[in-house]
Amino acid sequence: MSGEVRSLSAQVHDAFAAALRQVDLAGADPLVRPSDHADFQSNAAMALAKRAGTKPRDLAERLAAAVREQPGAPAGVELSGPGFLNVSIDDRTVWRQVEQRLAAPRLGIAESRSGERTVIDYSGPNIAKEMHVGHLRTTILGDALARVLDGLGSEVIRQNHLGDWGTQFGMLIQYLDEHPEAVWRPEDLAEGAVATTSALDELYRQARARFEADPGFGDRARDRVVALQSGDETTLARWRELVAQSQRAFQAIYDRLGVLLTPEDSRGESFYNDQLAEVVDELVKAGVAVESDGALCVFSDEFTGPGGDPVPLIVRKRDGGYNYATTDLATIRYRIRDLKASRILYVVDARQAMHFQMIFATARRMGWLTEGIEAVHVPFGAVLGPDGKPFKTRSGGAARLMELLDSAVDRARREIEGRAHDLDAAELERIVADAGIGAVKYADLSTSRTKDYVFDVDRMVSFNGNTGVYLQYAHTRIRSILRKAGDADTEVTADAPLQPAERALVLLLDGMGGTLDEVASSLEPHRLCGYLFALAKAFTDFYESCPVLKAGDERVRGNRLALCRLVGDSLARGLGLLGIAAPERM
Ligand code: ARG
């Protein structure tokens, strides 16, 4: 793999794996972990003694001897307690790591996911409705996962499954026809295009009220659905206009959030319309979908309701119409057959868990989803208001995303403006936006994915604690040290001394690749947040005990500057993989 720097822990692992082969335990897990007592510890002898028919201590001694014989063996391998092996790395090797990582692309982190193709379904807002706080998590989490997987060499295909089809469009289009005075296009509005989501939301509310109050309108709206579905050109043109307006408003939010989604990633529900009949046909032919009460359904023993009755997945309604499930079946088939995904991730809130389990089970029965292809629902918890209930604005509606982002950026401005700095107004504004948006994203990402969290702007923009602003600030402090040193190229002298705080920092840096691998398999970005927070704290410890700019010895100063650079680059890289900016100053 190009540019990979083998981590210290991997090197230790390799030496133990080779030693295990030598003591006739080939293939056994070396169980190498970071340790408080040494640099690493192996518990292999404890775990394998029984299998080897010997006492842990005896096995540990043989293993230690075998490890010491390996080329590139770690400096120290010592027996401890009943059969643990403590491993220490020599100073030179530690400094060499710093040197190699600084010289390598991507900090030398292996592209452990190359060869894999991941389709990731995230955001998926609904056309003609405003994006609200409920869409925040899927958008932010999905984007971070897309970035991490891409960073590890997976080929990532983003899919924005827009809710751009359905009976609500009949209602909206009919309403627009009957109310030409309705205000909803940007040109109708006094202020810029971004306001259109609110206008569309308002339009939706009005149309809905009319629909409920006026049965005559209800009938005309239903006829309009039929017109839309049968491809009536004027109706379709109106629909396209609604979709385009909404998309523009969503894009404004994506751009402001700095998420990667573009219009090219949109594959809305409507994209699958002309595949639905065929999909249902296939299901019926395979005997997977059966008629029940006039509808076509997929039943399975796996999914039963409270009374023990099977819960059906309806794929064609009694009126002949298709639904969300039919569309998701066409979607998974497309992702496997056409996009050739090896892994499909659905970053969608936890309430849809049952829906996706049923879609996956059906796709398996149809032979689309086969061994070797992984389909995963990646659920997440809710965003709560200060009262611990689902977030609402003062007016009572689900909180609008743009307003929330405004409030975070305003709060960040107050925080940063008051600090001593020599930033001009434009630069300050850019940094304030980076901090405010980064704060919102970090708060979302650093919470364990399946937990709910409270949207608390004051806490989010704090310079203390596990926040985005704290990490951004830690990064700017390191950049400032490097600037003071003249931003010279750093040079590592491997045979210079190594302090404990320096060693601790390098060992922590050594774990970044492993952390990213964990994020990629568990799909939990908060592990990367926790890692970066620990790294920033370890840097503070190092900086307190190891003077950098005032170091007397040139070699020591050079090594410390190199270490600063590596930590700074690692923080910037980590924040980047979370989709958070790392400004140079703050
Ligand atoms: N539009 C849906 C919603 O707002 C989310 C779409 C999720 N993706 C999917 N393939 N069903 O609930």
- Domain coordinates of the chain in residue numbers? 8-89, 117-162+269-377, 167-258, 401-577
Q: What confidence category does residue 420 fall into, taking pLDDT thresholds of 50, 70 and 90?
A: low
Task: Report whether residue 347 contacts ligand 1, using a CB cutoff of 6 Å.
Answer: no
* CA dihedral sign, ordered 351, 355, 361, 366: negative
Distance 571 CA to ligand 1 centre (A): 33
Q: Is the CB of 124 under 6 A from ligand 1?
A: yes
Tokens of 529: 């947040």
Q: Find out whether the beta carbon of 126 lies less than 6 Å from any atom of ligand 1.
A: yes
> What is the Cα–Cα distance from 4 to 193, expressed in whole angstroms?
46
What φ, ψ does residue 179 adopt, rounded to 5°? Answer: -130, 70
**What 8-state DSSP symbol labels residue 549?**
T
- Test site for ligand 1: of 119, 161, 204, most ligand atoms within 8 A of the Cβ: 161
**Cα–Cα distance, 160 to 253 (Å, whole number):** 14
Whether residue 154 has its Cβ less than 6 Å from ligand 1:
no
pLDDT in tens, 202-241: 888 889 999 999 999 999 999 999 999 889 999 999 999 9
The atom of ligand 1 lying closest to the CA of 324 is: 11
Q: Is the CB of 143 under 6 A from ligand 1?
A: no
User: Quick one: CA dihedral 447, 451, 455, 456, positive or negative?
Assistant: negative
**Ligand 1 atom closest to residue 348's alpha carbon, by position in its atom list:** 7
d(CA 544, CA 540): 6
Q: Which two tokens stand for residue 567?
A: 């930590």
CA pair distance 95, 362, nearest whole angstrom = 54
pLDDT one-digit tens code per residue, 364-374: 999 999 999 99
- What is the Cα 481 distance to its own chain's centre? 31
Per residue in 309-355, pLDDT (tens digit) is 889 999 999 988 899 999 999 999 999 999 999 999 999 999 999 99
Q: Could you tell me if the CB of 161 is within 6 A of ligand 1?
A: yes
Bridge partners of residue 85, in order along the sequence: 42, 79
Which secondary structure element, helix H or strand E, spans residue 313, and what is its range?
strand 313-316
List the Cα angle 515/519/520 in 5-degree steps: 115
Residues in the chain: 586
| pLDDT tens by residue, 559-568 | 999 999 999 9
142 CB near ligand 1 (under 6 Å): no
Pocket test for ligand 1, best of 348, 359, 376 (most atoms within 8 A of CB): 348
Q: List the residue whose alpha carbon is closest to atom 11 of ligand 1.
A: 328
Output DSSP code: residue 465. S
- Give 126 Cα–ligand 1 centroid separation in angstroms: 8
354's tokens = 């049952």
434 touches ligand 1 (CB under 6 Å): no
* CATH number, span 401-577: 1.10.730.10
Confidence of residue 477 (pLDDT cuts 50, 70, 90): very high
In this prediction, residue 316 carries a pLDDT of 96
Buried b / exposed e along 419-452 (16+ C-beta atoms within 10 A): eeeebeeeebeebbbbbbbbbbbbbbbbbebeee
With CA atoms as reference, report the closest residue to 75 among 57, 96, 100, 59: 96
Q: What is the mean pLDDT of residues 417-427?
A: 83
Distance between CA atoms of 196 and 244, rounded to whole angstroms?
11
Q: Is the CB of 268 under 6 A from ligand 1?
A: no
Instruction: Classify 78 as helix, strand or coil.
Output: strand
Dist CA 324 CA 314 (whole Å) = 9
DSSP 3-state percent helix, strand, coil across the chain (nearest 5) = 55, 10, 35
Query: 346 alpha carbon to ligand 1 midpoint, in Å?
Result: 9
Distance from residue 573's CA to the centre of ligand 1 (Å) = 30
At residue 394, does pLDDT exceed 60? no
Query: Considering the domain 117-162+269-377, what is its CATH architecture?
Result: 3-Layer(aba) Sandwich (3.40)
Domains 8-89 and 401-577 alike in fold: no
The class (CATH top level) of 8-89 is: alpha beta
Q: Which atom of ligand 1 is nearest to the CA of 356?
A: 11
